[in-house]
Amino acid sequence: MTLRQITILTICVVFPSSAVSQDWRQFLGDQGRGTSQDTVPTKWNKANNMVWSYQLPGKGSSSPIIVGDRVFVTCFKQQRDSISRFVVCVNKKTGKKMWSKEIGANYREDGYRGYITEHGYASNTPVSDGKMLFVFFGKGGVHAFDLDGNKKWSVDIGKGSSNRRWGSAASLVLYRDAVIVNAADEAKAIIALNKSDGKQLWRQETEMLELTYGTPRLASNNNQTDLVISVPSEIWGLNPKNGKLRWFAETPMTGNVSPSVIVDDKTVYSFGGYRSSGSVAVKLGGKDDVTQSHRLWTSRSSSYVATPLLHESNFYWIDDRGVAYCTNAKDGKTVYRQRVQNLKSGRPVYASPVLIGKYIYVVTRRSGTIVYPPGKGFKPIAQNVIRGDDTDFNASPAVSENRLYLRSDKALYCVGKK
């Protein structure tokens, strides 16, 4: 065998299929970065560039994910005191239902009031390793299915509630053979479950997880992988093999922390906090308290709900008050802060931004999807409203093969060139 043949064989083994690069297997896609090299339309409506739509069996704020030719999304339906959740699988190209599974609730949920009316009981985005699908329904537990909808296991991770009773929000993360759950609301714990059978691998409990709603992220530096999560007043680096704390740094974000952390090269960033809000940059690594040695900067700029998008040393997002932000990743200073026009009142944006090709896409709750280029000023080029759907669009989109996948409380939409 020649050296060239060996090289080709190695590439085939490491990258078995180009389809993997077209998957969007977790919240905000590959590594949670919210970026895609694809090109999708910047303008659409029900008559133009709408490839298909699928009526969902219930509401939800979870984002769709994509594995191969399948789109997965979760929903909930409430009837008086009864709540059912659904896992739905739709064909990516045709929009036809492939399967749907209903999961009932034989326990008492938090009441449908306050912030729960804003996001509901299906806010956690599924995750997949390409062979299995894992879904999290808060007090409804973690469930594993094969891609054809056959349930493999279910695990109860707690029935608790935070002191605010705002419901569950964090999405699942995969690490080697583990499914990692931020069960802060249900158990004030981070829990790792075995992917094959759901058995608990480790569990770390602490009262400090109260009001921690973000999704943990994996960050690798100097041959070490940390599980990073932002909690009120601190950011942590845990050992994903056993959940033990390796390092922590103090942050200006007290109160609840909702956005997920952002990992870039050797730095982790965190936004959030309410009422005391802010942002922080921390160099990865270290041991124990690294506040003085590894904290690079803190800032008062913040995002209360959405996870900001990092692109070319700047962060971009539109907050839940309808203000577009751009801040510098090197020092946290504001590049621009501008009120977004033509947004309906209330909390206009819950979804996190994604960068697709040359443009940033931000899904607003009731005023369409805003499209604008990154840069030193906020200059939107389109605001795409799907007429006839007046329900909330709370979820961040998924991207695959030059198509954009949006979900509302009513339907799942596929946008692409026709």
Q: What is the pLDDT of residues 290-317, one digit of tens each?
A: 999 999 999 988 888 999 999 999 999 9
Distance set, CA 230 to CA 32, 180, 325 (Å): 15, 15, 21
Could you read off the pLDDT of 66-117 as tens digits, one per residue?
Answer: 999 999 999 999 987 789 999 999 999 999 999 999 999 988 899 999 889 9
Domain limits of the chain? 28-56+308-418
Distance, CA of 357 to chain centre: 20
Residue 10 corresponds to which tokens in the numbers above? Answer: 């190695």
Could you read off the pLDDT of 176-232 as tens digits, one per residue?
Answer: 999 999 999 999 999 999 999 999 999 999 999 999 999 999 999 888 999 999 999
Tell me, what amino acid is at 112? Y
Residues making up the chain, counted from first to last: 418
pLDDT of residue 79: 81
Q: Kindly report the pTM of this predicted structure.
A: 0.94
Q: How deeply is 389 buried, as exposed, middle or buried, from its count of CB atoms within 10 A (0-12, 13-18, 19+)?
A: middle
CA–CA distance, 176 with 196 (Å, rounded to integer): 11
pLDDT of residue 255: 86
Residue 108 corresponds to which tokens in the numbers above? Answer: 């008492």
Residue 163 corresponds to which tokens in the numbers above? Answer: 């002191």
Residues 6+ apart with CB under 8 A from 375: none
Taking alpha carbons only, the member of 163, 185, 59 closest to residue 118 is 59
Could you read off the pLDDT of 126-183 as tens digits, one per residue?
Answer: 999 999 999 999 999 999 999 999 999 999 999 999 988 999 999 999 999 999 999 9
Could you read off the pLDDT of 27-74 as tens digits, one per residue?
Answer: 999 999 999 999 999 999 999 999 999 999 999 999 999 999 999 999
CA–CA distance, 269 with 286 (Å, rounded to integer): 16
3-state SS assignment for residue 8: helix
Q: How deeply is 276 buried, as exposed, middle or buried, from its count of CB atoms within 10 A (0-12, 13-18, 19+)?
A: middle
Helical segments of 89-197, H only: 116-119, 184-187
CA–CA distance, 283 with 246 (Å, rounded to integer): 13
CA–CA distance, 221 with 224 (Å, rounded to integer): 5
pLDDT at 7 over 50: no
At which residue do the structure tokens 């490839």 appear?
A: 51
pLDDT of residue 115: 87
pLDDT of residue 274: 83
pLDDT at 18 over 70: no
Residues 6+ apart with CB under 8 A from 98: 70, 89, 90, 91, 149
pLDDT at 355 over 90: yes
Tell me what percent of the residues of the chain surpass a pLDDT of 90. 86
3-state SS assignment for residue 119: helix
CA–CA distance, 51 with 405 (Å, rounded to integer): 10
Residues 6+ apart with CB under 8 A from 3: none
pLDDT at 381 over 80: yes
Q: Which CATH architecture has domain 28-56+308-418?
A: Beta Barrel (2.40)
pLDDT of residue 22: 92
pLDDT at 15 over 70: no
pLDDT of residue 82: 86
pLDDT of residue 331: 97
Decide if 20 contacts 128 (C-beta within 8 A). no
pLDDT of residue 21: 59
Q: How deeply is 242 buried, as exposed, middle or buried, from its count of CB atoms within 10 A (0-12, 13-18, 19+)?
A: exposed
Q: How deeply is 401 buried, as exposed, middle or buried, from its count of CB atoms within 10 A (0-12, 13-18, 19+)?
A: middle
User: What single string gives the DSSP state of each residue in 273-329?
Assistant: -BSS-EEEEEES--SEE-HHHHEEEEES---SSSPPEEETTEEEEE-TTSEEEEEET
Decide if 296 contacts 277 (C-beta within 8 A). no
At which residue do the structure tokens 């050797």 appear?
A: 266
CA–CA distance, 139 with 263 (Å, rounded to integer): 29
Tell me, what amino acid is at 26? Q
Tell me, what amino acid is at 217? R
Taking alpha carbons only, the member of 124, 122, 130 closest to residue 146 is 130
